[in-house]
Structure 1
């Protein structure tokens, strides 16, 4: 039940920030192991950009 609650919280937080939960979770799970601790806030839903938006911003 705790895992389901955690997943529900992540999904709801993404939705409240107008982020597609599936795209966000897939990107975060793919990137989290290789990102420095100092850059982890970039993965939060309110800071996150889709990979194609990241390329356009660079």
Structure 2
């Protein structure tokens, strides 16, 4: 997912440099959404990992 966010960020930068403002805005919004989704899932799985590890150790 992070790979796709980086891909869309690069597409947004290239499209912005070439003057395609509509494409750049769309790609940037997709990149932001994917990055936020990645961060949320990362935190959720990190917390779940700590909870499961604590239950296994105890």
Please report the TM-score for the alignment, with normalisation by the length of structure 1.
0.34
Which protein is bigger by CA-based radius of gyration?
A: 2
TM-score of the pair, normalised by structure 2: 0.34
- Which of the two has greater helix per residue? 2
Return the structure number with greater relative CO, CA threshold 8 A, min gap 6: 2
